[in-house]
Structure 1
Amino acid sequence: MKLEATVDGLMDGLRADLERLAAIPSISFPGFPAGPVEEAHDLLAGLLRDAGVPHVERLDLPDTAPVIYGEILPPTPEAPTVLLYGHYDVQPPGDEALWKSPPFEPTPVEGGLRARGIADDKSNVIAHLGMLRAYGGRPPVGIKIVIEGQEEYGSAFDDYPPSDPERFACDAMVIADLGNLRPGTPTLTTGLRGACEVVVEVRTLDEPRHSGEFGGAAPDALLVLLKALGTLHDVHGDVAVEGLRREEWDGTTYTEEEFRDLAGVRDGVPLIGSGSLGERLWSGPAITVIGLDAPSVEHAASAVVPYARAKLNLRFHPRQDPREARDRLVDHLRSLRPFGVPLTVTPGDTGPGYEAATGGPAYRAALAALKEGWGEDASYVATGGSIPLVNGLAKAAPGAEVLLFGAQDSMCNLHAPNERVLFSELRNTVVAMCAFVREYAAGHGTGADA
């Protein structure tokens, strides 16, 4: 109970700091001002110093928002070192008319606060801070802190850690850029699907031609493209591209009712695909058409369409080689000749998935810590999202265990209007982080109490 009482005594201050941080529109996308990003960086660097981190520095890379790096040396030579990761940048708010309150004015909601970035990822950064405060800046393990400022858009930092392995050397990492399957359900994420993008184009005519005079014989580029896209899935909605890895999912997943509510699926509209939701969302592939260039309905002319283009997003199994997955999709599309017409297929950005090893001492400590934080055994899930830096950190510290948990939950509306965080999830995450470093240190013979 001493740990919980300590954390409870810190919550008012943590909430105040979270509100200060969430009020800063730290958007690192092109076209947004750099000032708020710098402001968020400076605020966090100061909070870490005040929490007892003796070494806090700014890491600058080309065309990249500043990275906060901090370090606390291990209390004994035998103590392990834990790297804590988070990010202080946020997604743009999107259409502010869809928000119930201004996105950068933290606003109370039932049990929590609403603001852009308050869950993803500022709540998790504050949870790291809470653990450090609980131990008075002297945790029972060595600490390395990495808080980046351009995770949402991507940057040169994604590939930087392997070039500086000594800086990122550690025994375990807590990647706090996600959270629980649902509020109140402690969750460890063990896998991240990989992702790639592919553009497919069709040009059939020099220019549009009158559909009454030429339609029926002149090849319609949009029809060609739609026929090609229709081959990507079978009659059930499962991905039909050969060679994309799919396995049964044996972890925890959503109920269909939860998923329909989260996705906003309309009444009477079925889900697509077969198998469990975990298999469809995490251990199998997904292909989504994320963009389409063709005449708009509003401005459509009675003409055969000469050119059409689509952008596809492929998510693939965490253990599948990213180039192999990308090439399977590209080869499938290039092999098609809808109505005898060839396609132009251009592969784009490709990022690997990640599957964490389980069963080591840090994993066991995390299971115990999550149970202490939430009062029940942890579940494990994967995610279809990606955290680009994870693979870079894993390459820099190949022997480190990687743990993915945090204060978000799948119902927090991250990347959507009205994002929110619950105080109960933040509080329990701080308890779990404190318990984790205690349990992990004890496993190395260096236990301590908060």
Structure 2
Amino acid sequence: MTALTEEELRAAIRREMSGVRADLERLVRIPGIAFTGFDHSHVERSAEAVVELLRGAGIPDVRIVRDGGQPAVIGRRPAPPGAPTVLLYAHHDVQPVGDLAQWKSDPFEPVERDGRLYGRGVADDKAGIMAHIAALRAFGDDLPVGVVLFIEGEEEFGSESLEDLLREHRDDIAADVIVIADSGNWDIGQPALTTGLRGIVNGFVEVRTLENAVHSGMFGGAIPDALITLSRLIATLHDDNGDVAVEGLVRTQSAPLDYPEDRFREEAGMLESVSFIGTGRLVERLWTRPSISILGIDAPPTAGAPNALVPVAKAKFSVRIAPGDNAQRVYDTVTAHLRKHAPWGAQVTVELEQLGEPCVIDATGPAYDAARAAFTEAWDGAEPVDMGVGGSIPFIATFQELFPKAAILVTGVEDPETSAHGPNESLHLGEFERVCIAEALLLAKVARLS
């Protein structure tokens, strides 16, 4: 086998980018949403499209697997004698599109504007799949490492069946290096390795003050309605500064990076009059401290609401937990807080929806050195930074448990303008090419570690 030089790999990636983009656009046109209530035949179509892509990229052993959930795809190509094996992860399912009126173009018909490709899933995470495909195509028959591809089909819906799949196929997906292409870079022109992610605890809190609705004139002023009661209970979750007021949750230090507030405001689309909440460095508030959000409330809609005291109201809460904390402990702690602070003796019920562990990655060692060198070369001398992420990829903790000796590299194609999960999700095409070059260079450098 002839080892390709760095320049040969760059040239090969550039030669493949036109076809890679075309295949990415074909994937984006498949609305594979794993959420309940959507047509899951599209998720099946998406998995089948991934199978076709992997086989076309020289992966001989490809199959669809599932464990009661949506279809995942596993592809395997054995390592040359003495070479390591690299696991390449991405997911082919996407978020729902939300309010179509906020999209400037059809979310499932990719379109380019000002060097960015727009469409649901174009970055999160179908470009992650295509970065793997691009690297495989660049090497062709000269792939210097073994590869296992694990392309999940329900990541956006919580990866409910993923842990069982990983355990069931543990021997098939064992690897020396694991590349999880589902994160992002610090900025356009500035690559990054993600070394810490918050965990997640989602649940529901319900308050009840009455057996049934009663006349608001005859009984109002003496009996608390459930909506006011729920509002007061929710308000106890934060102090006057906006810091989480639930006692006992872990708070840690963050990477020495400066996140300019004006940049963050612009990226988030904050209204000019709105102030930040919380105290401390912005990166700590986002990456290494807990946050609590209210995602929705069940109560009578304003249209047609009667003049009656609401007897019961329910809210969905989401806690992002700091690296170093434990999801079950956080759920128990938040539950105890909500019950303790029940206003006016209201009946409070808490129900768990989802637990996901945070993770910290010790990004030291030969594989991480190889990744940093590959990123620096792909970005023409810009060295990658280590960054945290406020979002959650809970299954990384499972990878760490199952493969404790493997180096886990969390990479991705997103940038601060991507708007993943939001309207007008987009991919910077120039950065995408650099991501593809970096992955090809990484595989070449990992091969040399053996």
One-letter amino acid of the counterpart of residue 437, structure 1: L
The residue that corresponds to 1:179 in the other structure is: 184
The alignment status of 1:420 with 2:395, answered yes or no, reads no
TM-score by length of 1: 0.93
Helix, strand or coil: the match of 2:263? helix
Cα drift, residue 85 of structure 1: 0.3
Q: Note closer, same or farther for the CA distance 1:34–1:197 as it changes in structure 2 (3 Å cut).
A: closer
The residue that corresponds to 2:80 in the other structure is: 75
Per mean C-alpha deviation after superposition, the further-off stretch among 292-301 and 101-110 is 292-301
Correspondence list, 1:342-421, <5 A: 342-375=347-380, 376-421=382-427
Contact kept? 1:168, 1:397, Cα under 8 Å? no
Cα drift, residue 137 of structure 1: 4.0
Cα drift, residue 82 of structure 1: 0.8
The residue that corresponds to 1:306 in the other structure is: 311
Q: Note closer, same or farther for the CA distance 1:94–1:222 as it changes in structure 2 (3 Å cut).
A: closer
The alignment status of 1:85 with 2:96, answered yes or no, reads no
Aligned residue among 110, 113, 117 for 2:117: 113
Per mean C-alpha deviation after superposition, the further-off stretch among 26-35 and 368-377 is 26-35
Contact kept? 1:330, 1:347, Cα under 8 Å? no
The alignment status of 1:43 with 2:49, answered yes or no, reads yes
Correspondence list, 1:286-325, <5 A: 286-325=291-330
Question: C-alpha separation between the residues in 2 aligned to 1:34 and 1:325?
Answer: 33
Helix, strand or coil: the match of 1:343? strand
TM-score by length of 2: 0.93
Deviations 1:230-289 (A, max 9, x none): 111111000011111112212435321121122221111101111111111110000111
Cα drift, residue 342 of structure 1: 4.4
Question: C-alpha separation between the residues in 2 aligned to 1:293 and 1:37?
Answer: 29
Contact kept? 1:124, 1:406, Cα under 8 Å? yes
Correspondence list, 1:8-19, <5 A: 8-19=14-25
Question: C-alpha separation between the residues in 2 aligned to 1:209 and 1:32?
Answer: 37
The residue that corresponds to 1:237 in the other structure is: 242
Helix, strand or coil: the match of 1:136? helix
Contact kept? 1:158, 1:388, Cα under 8 Å? no
The residue that corresponds to 1:97 in the other structure is: 101
- Superposition CA RMSD, Å: 1.8
Question: C-alpha separation between the residues in 1 aligned to 2:160 and 2:224?
Answer: 42
Contact kept? 2:198, 2:323, Cα under 8 Å? yes
Cα drift, residue 367 of structure 1: 1.0
Per mean C-alpha deviation after superposition, the further-off stretch among 120-129 and 351-360 is 351-360
Question: C-alpha separation between the residues in 2 aligned to 1:102 and 1:110?
Answer: 17
Deviations 1:355-413 (A, max 9, x none): 11210211111111111111201112121222243233332212111111121223211
Deviations 1:44-76 (A, max 9, x none): 2222222211222222322x2322111121112
The residue that corresponds to 2:446 in the other structure is: 440
Question: C-alpha separation between the residues in 1 aligned to 2:351 and 2:25?
Answer: 44
The residue that corresponds to 1:208 in the other structure is: 213
Q: Note closer, same or farther for the CA distance 1:37–1:204 as it changes in structure 2 (3 Å cut).
A: closer
The residue that corresponds to 2:3 in the other structure is: none
Question: C-alpha separation between the residues in 2 aligned to 1:388 and 1:58?
Answer: 22
Aligned residue among 189, 199, 204 for 1:199: 204
Contact kept? 2:67, 2:164, Cα under 8 Å? no
The alignment status of 1:252 with 2:257, answered yes or no, reads yes
Contact kept? 1:198, 1:330, Cα under 8 Å? no
Cα drift, residue 136 of structure 1: 0.9
Contact kept? 1:238, 1:274, Cα under 8 Å? yes
Deviations 1:296-330 (A, max 9, x none): 33334433332222221111012211111111111
Q: Which ranges of structure 2 fall in alignment gaps of 5 or more residues?
A: 1-6
Per mean C-alpha deviation after superposition, the further-off stretch among 159-168 and 98-107 is 159-168
Q: Could you tell me the percent identity over the aligned residues?
A: 43
Contact kept? 2:203, 2:318, Cα under 8 Å? yes
Contact kept? 1:251, 1:380, Cα under 8 Å? no
Contact kept? 1:181, 1:254, Cα under 8 Å? no
Question: C-alpha separation between the residues in 1 aligned to 2:141 and 2:125?
Answer: 22
Question: C-alpha separation between the residues in 1 aligned to 2:66 and 2:312?
Answer: 43
One-letter amino acid of the counterpart of residue 18, structure 1: L
Q: Note closer, same or farther for the CA distance 1:321–1:155 as it changes in structure 2 (3 Å cut).
A: closer
Question: C-alpha separation between the residues in 2 aligned to 1:361 and 1:354?
Answer: 21
